[in-house]
Amino acid sequence: MDKTVLNVNKLQTEFRMRRYTVYAVNGVSYDIHPGEIVGVVGESGCGKSVSQMSTLRLVPSPPAHIAGNAVYEGKDLVDPSNAEYLRSVRGGKIAMIFQEPMTSLNPVMKVGEQISEAIRLHMKLGANEARARTIELMKKVRIPDAEERYESYPHEFSGGMCQRLMIAMAMSCDPDLLIADESTTALDVTIQAQILEMLRDVVRETQTALLIVTHNLGIVARYADKIYVMYAGSVVEYGRAADIFTAPSHAYTIGLLNSVPRLDDDKDRMLMPIEGFPPNLQSRPEGCAFSARCTQKLPECASCSEFPLKMVGDGHYSLCINDHLDRSQRRSDTLFEAKRIPDETLLEIRGLHREFPVKKGILFKKTVGKVHALNDVNLRIRRGETLGLVGESGCGKTTLARSILGLISPTSGEILYQGTDLTKLDKRKTREMRKDIQLIFQDPFASLDPRMSIGSIIGEPLVVHKLTSGKAEYLKRVEELFIMVGLDPSLRDRSPHELSGGQRQRVGIARALASEPRFLVCDEPVSALDVSVQAQILNLLERLQRELGLTYLFIAHDLSVVRHISDTIAVMYLGRIVEKGDWKTLCKNPMHPYTRALLSAVPIPDPEIERTRNIEAIKGDVPSVSRLPGGCSFHPRCPYASADCAAAVPELRETEPGHFVACPVADAIRGAKSQAGSAE
Amino acid sequence: MTQYIVKKIFQALLVLLIVTFISYLIMELIPGDAVDFLLGLEATPEKAAALRASLNLDKPFIVRYFMWLGGLFRGDMGTSIFYNDSVTNILVKKLLVTFRMGFAALIISTVVGITLGVVSAVNRGGFWDNLISFFANIGISIPAFWLGILFIILFAVKMKVLPVQGYTDPSADFWLHTKQMVMPVIVTAVGALSSMVRQTRSAVLETISQDYVRTAREKGLRERAILIKHVLRNALIPILTLLGMQIRVLFGGVVIVENIFAIPGMGRLLVNSVFNRDITVVQGCILIMGIVVIIANLLVDVSYGFVDPRIREIKDVA
Amino acid sequence: MMKKGSFIRVLVSRWTVLLSVILIALFIIAAVFAPLLMPYDPLAMDLPNRLAAPSLKHLLGCDLMGRDIMSRIIYGARTSMLIAFVSIIIGGIAGTLLGLVAGYFGGVVDTVIMRLTDAMMAIPQIVLALGIGVALGRSTLNLMIAIGVSSVPAYIRMMRGQTVSTKNQMYVLSANVIGCSDSRVMYRHILPNSISPLIVTATINLGGAIMAEASLSYLGLGVPPEIPAWGTMVSDGFQYIETAPMLSVIPGLCIMLVVLAFNIFGDGLRDMLDPRVRGSL
Are A609 and A553 in a shared domain? no
Confirm whether B188 is domain-assigned.
yes
Half-sphere exposure of B159 (CA within 13 A, CB side): 7
Counting residues of chain A whose pLDDT is more than 70, the rounded percentage is 93
- Inter-chain residue contact B313 with A109, CB threshold 8 Å: no
Mean pLDDT of A113-124: 86
Confirm whether A223 is domain-assigned.
no
Closest CA to C267 of C201, C208, C206, C191: C201
Task: Give the C-alpha separation, A330 to A332, whole Å.
Answer: 5
Helices (H), A298-388: none
What digits encode the pLDDT tens for the residues A393-412? 778 888 899 899 888 888 88
Confidence of residue A43 (pLDDT cuts 50, 70, 90): confident
- A368 vs chain B: nearest CA distance in angstroms? 10
Q: C-chain residues within 8 Å CB-CB of A446?
A: 169-171
Are A563 and A598 in a shared domain? no
Q: C-chain residues within 8 Å CB-CB of B22?
A: 119-120, 123
Q: Print the domain residue range for B297.
A: 87-317
Closest CA to C60 of C266, C255, C254: C254
- Inter-chain residue contact B212 with A104, CB threshold 8 Å: yes
Tell me if the bond preceding A62 is cis, omega within 30° of 0: yes
| The predicted structure's pLDDT at residue A334 | 61
Task: Give the C-alpha separation, A536 to A674, whole Å.
Answer: 38
Task: Give the C-alpha separation, A166 to A141, whole Å.
Answer: 10
Half-sphere exposure of A566 (CA within 13 A, CB side): 30
Strands lying side by side in the sheet with A226-231: A94-97, A177-181, A209-214, A37-41, A226-231, A234-240, A316-318, A310-313
Phi-psi region of A44 (alpha: psi -120 to 50; beta: other; left: phi over 0): beta
- Inter-chain residue contact C131 with B282, CB threshold 8 Å: yes
- Inter-chain residue contact C174 with A448, CB threshold 8 Å: yes
| Total number of domains constituting chain B | 1
Q: C-chain residues within 8 Å CB-CB of B11?
A: 115, 118
Mean pLDDT of C172-198: 88
Are A418 and A525 in a shared domain? yes
CA distances from C23 to C27, C30, C255 (A): 6, 11, 12
A579-592 as b/e: b if 16+ CB within 10 A:
bbbbbebbbeebbb
- C109 vs chain B: nearest CA distance in angstroms? 16
| The predicted structure's pLDDT at residue A18 | 74
Confirm whether A19 is domain-assigned.
no
The length of chain A is 680
Task: Give the C-alpha separation, A107 to A130, whole Å.
Answer: 21
Task: Give the C-alpha separation, A427 to A420, whole Å.
Answer: 15
Mean pLDDT of C76-101: 94
| The predicted structure's pLDDT at residue B40 | 64
Question: Is the predicted pLDDT of residue A305 greater than 80, yes or no?
Answer: no
The answer to whether A155 and B308 are in contact (CB under 8 A) is no
Task: Give the C-alpha separation, C185 to C179, whole Å.
Answer: 10
Confirm whether B138 is domain-assigned.
yes
Counting residues of chain C whose pLDDT is more than 90, the rounded percentage is 44
- Inter-chain residue contact B220 with A362, CB threshold 8 Å: no
Strand-pair category, A94-97 with A177-181: parallel
Q: A-chain residues within 8 Å CB-CB of B10?
A: 362-363
Q: In chain A, whose CA is at the least distance from the CA of B315? A: A360
| The predicted structure's pLDDT at residue A1 | 44
Which residue, of A543, A572, A601, is where some domain finishes?
Answer: A572
Confidence of residue C225 (pLDDT cuts 50, 70, 90): confident
Helices (H), chain C: 4-13, 15-32, 34-37, 69-105, 107-122, 125-136, 140-167, 170-177, 182-184, 191-193, 195-219, 230-237, 246-273, 275-278
Helices C140-167 and C195-219 sit at what angle, rounded to 10 degrees? 150
- At CB < 8 Å, which residues of chain A contact C? 17-18, 63, 405, 407, 431-432, 434-435, 438-439, 441-443, 446-452, 460-461, 464-465, 508, 511-512, 514-515
The answer to whether C93 and C64 are in contact (CB under 8 A) is no
Inform me whether the C-beta atom of residue C175 falls under 8 Å from chain A C-beta atoms.
yes
Q: Residue type at A177?
A: L
Question: Is the predicted pLDDT of residue A283 greater than 80, yes or no?
Answer: no
| Total number of domains constituting chain A | 2
Are A364 and A512 in a shared domain? yes
Closest CA to A184 of A613, A636, A603, A614: A603
Closest CA to A169 of A143, A189, A197: A143
Inform me whether the C-beta atom of residue B11 falls under 8 Å from chain A C-beta atoms.
no
Taking 50 as the pLDDT cut, the residues of chain B under it are 314-318
| The predicted structure's pLDDT at residue B211 | 86
Question: Is the predicted pLDDT of residue A232 greater than 90, yes or no?
Answer: no
| The predicted structure's pLDDT at residue A280 | 75
The answer to whether A555 and A397 are in contact (CB under 8 A) is yes
Inform me whether the C-beta atom of residue B143 falls under 8 Å from chain C C-beta atoms.
yes
- Inter-chain residue contact C123 with B31, CB threshold 8 Å: no
Question: Is the predicted pLDDT of residue C250 greater than 50, yes or no?
Answer: yes
The answer to whether A576 and A662 are in contact (CB under 8 A) is yes
The answer to whether A422 and A404 are in contact (CB under 8 A) is yes
The answer to whether C240 and C51 are in contact (CB under 8 A) is yes
Helices A501-513 and A471-484 sit at what angle, rounded to 10 degrees? 130
Q: Which of A106, A178, A359 is the mutation pick for testing B, counting most B CBs within 10 A?
A: A106
Are A527 and A397 in a shared domain? yes
Sign of CA dihedral A213, A218, A219, A223: positive
We report the CATH number of the domain holding residue B154 as: 1.10.3720.10
| The predicted structure's pLDDT at residue B313 | 57
ipTM of the complex: 0.85
| The predicted structure's pLDDT at residue B61 | 80
Half-sphere exposure of B303 (CA within 13 A, CB side): 16
Q: Which of B6, B218, B307 lies at the smallest CB-CB distance from A96?
A: B218
Inform me whether the C-beta atom of residue C112 falls under 8 Å from chain B C-beta atoms.
no
Question: Is the predicted pLDDT of residue C109 greater than 90, yes or no?
Answer: yes
| The predicted structure's pLDDT at residue A438 | 93
Between A261 and A456, the higher pLDDT residue:
A456
| The predicted structure's pLDDT at residue B73 | 84
Which residue, of A551, A572, A593, is where some domain finishes?
Answer: A572
Helices (H), A6-57: 48-55
- Inter-chain residue contact B215 with A88, CB threshold 8 Å: no
Inform me whether the C-beta atom of residue B101 falls under 8 Å from chain C C-beta atoms.
no
Closest CA to C114 of C146, C152, C88, C165: C152
Inform me whether the C-beta atom of residue A360 falls under 8 Å from chain B C-beta atoms.
yes
Residues 279-298 of B with CB under 8 A from C: 282, 285-286, 289-290, 293-294, 297
Are A392 and A538 in a shared domain? yes
Strand-pair category, A659-661 with A653-656: antiparallel
Q: Which of A108, A165, A169, A360 is the mutation pick for testing B, counting most B CBs within 10 A?
A: A108
Q: Which of C115, C131, C241 lies at the smallest CB-CB distance from B26?
A: C131
Q: Print the domain residue range for A647.
A: 584-679
Confirm whether B55 is domain-assigned.
no
DSSP letters spanning A634-677: TTTT-TT--HHHHHSPPPPEEEETTEEE--TTHHHHHHHHHHHH
Rounded to an integer, what is the distance from CA B148 to the centroid of its chain?
Answer: 18
Q: Domain C16-33+71-275 in CATH: superfamily? A: MetI-like (1.10.3720.10)
Half-sphere exposure of B227 (CA within 13 A, CB side): 12
| The predicted structure's pLDDT at residue A461 | 92
| The predicted structure's pLDDT at residue B245 | 85
- Inter-chain residue contact A441 with C176, CB threshold 8 Å: no
Domain residue limits, chain C: 16-33+71-275
Between B185 and C64, the higher pLDDT residue:
B185
CA distances from A144 to A164, A174, A201, A619, B209 (A): 11, 22, 18, 12, 32
Closest CA to C226 of C88, C85, C57, C65: C65
Inform me whether the C-beta atom of residue C9 falls under 8 Å from chain B C-beta atoms.
no
| The predicted structure's pLDDT at residue C145 | 94
Task: Give the C-alpha separation, A182 to A214, whole Å.
Answer: 5
Residues 283-312 of B with CB under 8 A from A: 307-310
Q: In chain C, whose CA is at the least distance from the CA of B21? A: C119
Confirm whether A98 is domain-assigned.
no
Are A551 and A622 in a shared domain? no
Q: What is the pTM of this model?
A: 0.82
Cα A261-A263-A266 angle, rounded to 5 deg? 70
Q: Which of B23, B141, B255 lies at the smallest CB-CB distance from C124?
A: B255
Task: Give the C-alpha separation, A521 to A534, whole Å.
Answer: 17
Confirm whether A120 is domain-assigned.
no
Closest CA to A219 of A256, A166, A252, A182: A182
Q: In chain C, whose CA is at the least distance from the CA of A513? A: C178
Confidence of residue A332 (pLDDT cuts 50, 70, 90): low
Between A668 and B263, the higher pLDDT residue:
B263
Counting residues of chain A whose pLDDT is more than 90, the rounded percentage is 17
Q: B-chain residues within 8 Å CB-CB of C241?
A: 149, 152-153, 157
The answer to whether A527 and A443 are in contact (CB under 8 A) is no
| The predicted structure's pLDDT at residue A680 | 32
Q: A-chain residues within 8 Å CB-CB of B218?
A: 56, 58, 90-91, 95-96
> Lowest mean pLDDT: which of A263-277, A313-327, A437-451?
A263-277
In SS3 terms, chain B reads as CHHHHHHHHHHHHHHHHHHHHHHHHHHHHCCCCHHHHHHHHHCCHHHHHHHHHHCCCCCCHHHHHHHHHHHHHCCCCCECCCCCCEHHHHHHHHHHHHHHHHHHHHHHHHHHHHHHHHHHHHCCCCHHHHHHHHHHHHHHHCCHHHHHHHHHHHHHHHCCCCCCCCCCCCCCCHHHHHHHHHHHHHHHHHHHHHHHHHHHHHHHHHHHCCHHHHHHHHCCCCHHHHHHHHHHHHHHHHHHHHHHHHHHHHHHHHHHHHHHCCCCCHHHHHHHHHHHCCHHHHHHHHHHHHHHHHHHHHHHHHHHHHHCHHHHCHHHHC
Q: Which of C10, C12, C177 is the mutation pick for testing A, counting most A CBs within 10 A?
A: C177
3-class secondary-structure state, position A121: helix
Task: Give the C-alpha separation, A197 to A167, whole Å.
Answer: 13
- Inter-chain residue contact A451 with C193, CB threshold 8 Å: yes
Which residue, of A546, A572, A598, is where some domain finishes?
Answer: A572
Most confident of A15-24, A641-650, C193-202: C193-202
Q: Which of A63, A451, A464 lies at the smallest CB-CB distance from C180?
A: A464
We report the CATH number of the domain holding residue A368 as: 3.40.50.300
- Inter-chain residue contact B138 with C260, CB threshold 8 Å: yes
Half-sphere exposure of A259 (CA within 13 A, CB side): 25
Q: In chain B, whose CA is at the least distance from the CA of A157? A: B310
Strand-pair category, A234-240 with A310-313: unpaired
Closest CA to C84 of C224, C278, C255, C238: C255
Question: Is the predicted pLDDT of residue C51 greater than 80, yes or no?
Answer: no
- A408 vs chain C: nearest CA distance in angstroms? 11
| The predicted structure's pLDDT at residue B317 | 35
Q: In this structure, what is the dihedral angle of CA atoms C187, C191, C195, C198, given to the nearest 10 degrees?
A: -120
* Mean pLDDT, chain A, integer: 84
Question: Is the predicted pLDDT of residue A677 greater than 50, yes or no?
Answer: no
Question: How many CB contacts within 8 angstroms connect chain A with chain B?
Answer: 81
Phi-psi region of A537 (alpha: psi -120 to 50; beta: other; left: phi over 0): alpha
Q: Which of B137, B274, B290 lies at the smallest CB-CB distance from C221?
A: B274
Inform me whether the C-beta atom of residue B178 falls under 8 Å from chain A C-beta atoms.
no
Q: C-chain residues within 8 Å CB-CB of A511?
A: 174, 178
Task: Give the C-alpha separation, B157 to C243, whole Å.
Answer: 10
Strands lying side by side in the sheet with A75-76: A21-32, A6-16, A64-72, A75-76
The answer to whether A288 and A307 are in contact (CB under 8 A) is yes
Cα first-last separation, chain B: 11
- Inter-chain residue contact A107 with B212, CB threshold 8 Å: yes
Are A515 and A595 in a shared domain? no
Q: A-chain residues within 8 Å CB-CB of B203?
A: none
